[in-house]
Structure 1
Amino acid sequence: MSQLNYNSDSLGKGDAAARSATKQRRRRLAFIIAAVIVIIGLGLGLGLGLGLRKGDDDDDGDDGDDTTDDGTDRGANRTTMWNPSVGDSWQIILLKPLDTSVDLEPDVEVYDLDLFNNEATVFDDLHAKNKKVICYFSAGSWENWRDDKDKFEDSDLGSTLDGWPDEKWLKLSSDNVRSIMAERIKLASRKGCDAIDPDNVDGYENDNGLGLTEEDSIDFMKFLSEEAAKYNMSTGLKNAGSIIDRSLPYVAFSVNEQCGEHDECETFEAFIEDKKPVFRIEYPKEDLTDEARIAAVSKQRCDAAGASAFSTVLKNMNLDGWVEYCDGDTYDTSIVS
Structure 2
Amino acid sequence: MRIRPRRPAAVRPLRRIVSAGVVLVLVVPAYGCRRELTPPGAPTPWPAAQARHWQWQWQLDGPLDPTVDADVFLLDPVATTAAQTAELRTRDRRLICQVPVGSVRSTDPDASRVPAAVQGAPGPRPGSRWLDVRAWDALEPVLADRFRLCRGKGFGAVALADADGYAHRSGFPLGFDDQLLFNRRLAQLARALDLSPGLVNDVPQLAALAPDFDFVVNEECVRLDQCAKLLPFVDAGKPVFHVEYTGSTDDFCVTTVGYGFASIRKERALDAWREPCALP
Q: TM-score, normalised by structure 1?
A: 0.72
The aligned counterpart of 2:131 is: 170
Whether contact under 8 Å (1:115, 1:188) holds in the other structure is yes
The aligned counterpart of 1:179 is: 141
1:248-301 deviation per Cα after TM superposition (whole angstroms, max 9, x unaligned): 2221000111101111111101101101000111101xxxxxxxxx53xx3333
The aligned counterpart of 1:278 is: 240
The aligned counterpart of 1:252 is: 214
Q: How does 1:53-68 map to 2 (within 5 A)?
A: 53-58=17-22, 60-62=24-26, 63=28, 65=32, 67-68=34-35
Change (3 A) 1:66 1:115: closer
1:157-202 deviation per Cα after TM superposition (whole angstroms, max 9, x unaligned): 121136x441211111212122211111121111111000110111
Aligned length: 267
2-side partners of 1:134 and 1:217: how far apart?
22
Change (3 A) 1:221 1:259: same
2-side partners of 1:205 and 1:50: how far apart?
52
Q: How does 1:29-44 map to 2 (within 5 A)?
A: 41-42=7-8
The letter of the residue matching 1:134 is I
The letter of the residue matching 1:90 is W
The aligned counterpart of 1:228 is: 190
The aligned counterpart of 1:218 is: 180
Whether contact under 8 Å (1:236, 1:255) holds in the other structure is yes
1:90 correspondence with 2:52 = no
The aligned counterpart of 2:10 is: 46
Change (3 A) 1:48 1:207: same
Change (3 A) 1:172 1:302: same
2-side partners of 1:192 and 1:41: how far apart?
44
1:291-316 deviation per Cα after TM superposition (whole angstroms, max 9, x unaligned): xxx53xx3333233685310111100
The structure whose Rg is larger is 1
Whether contact under 8 Å (2:34, 2:148) holds in the other structure is no
Give me the CA root mean square deviation: 2.4
1-side partners of 2:82 and 2:237: how far apart?
30
1-side partners of 2:221 and 2:200: how far apart?
12
Whether contact under 8 Å (1:266, 1:307) holds in the other structure is no
Q: Decide which of 248, 259, 262 is 1:311's aligned counterpart.
A: 262
1-side partners of 2:254 and 2:173: how far apart?
37
The letter of the residue matching 2:160 is P
Q: TM-score, normalised by structure 2?
A: 0.86
The letter of the residue matching 1:243 is Q
After TM superposition, give the deviation of residue 321 of structure 1 in Å.
0.7
Flag the structure with more relative contact order, 1 or 2, with Cα contacts below 8 A and sequence separation at least 6.
Answer: 2
The structure in which a higher percent of residues are helix is 1
Whether contact under 8 Å (2:264, 2:276) holds in the other structure is yes
The aligned counterpart of 1:74 is: 38
The aligned counterpart of 1:238 is: 200
The aligned counterpart of 2:250 is: 299
Q: Secondary structure at the match of 1:313?
A: strand
Change (3 A) 1:95 1:264: same
2-side partners of 1:309 and 1:319: how far apart?
23
Q: Secondary structure at the match of 2:255?
A: coil
After TM superposition, give the deviation of residue 123 of structure 1 in Å.
1.0
Whether contact under 8 Å (1:139, 1:199) holds in the other structure is yes
Change (3 A) 1:307 1:240: farther
2-side partners of 1:141 and 1:58: how far apart?
31
After TM superposition, give the deviation of residue 82 of structure 1 in Å.
1.7
Whether contact under 8 Å (2:55, 2:276) holds in the other structure is no
Change (3 A) 1:317 1:52: same
2-side partners of 1:51 and 1:143: how far apart?
38
The aligned counterpart of 1:25 is: none
After TM superposition, give the deviation of residue 79 of structure 1 in Å.
4.4
Change (3 A) 1:305 1:228: closer
1:108 correspondence with 2:70 = yes
Whether contact under 8 Å (1:97, 1:118) holds in the other structure is no
- The alignment-based identity, stated in percent, is 24
Q: Decide which of 96, 103, 117 is 1:141's aligned counterpart.
A: 103
The letter of the residue matching 1:170 is L
Change (3 A) 1:53 1:98: farther
1:209 correspondence with 2:171 = yes
Q: Secondary structure at the match of 2:45?
A: coil
Unaligned residue ranges in structure 2 (runs of 5+): none
1:125 correspondence with 2:87 = yes
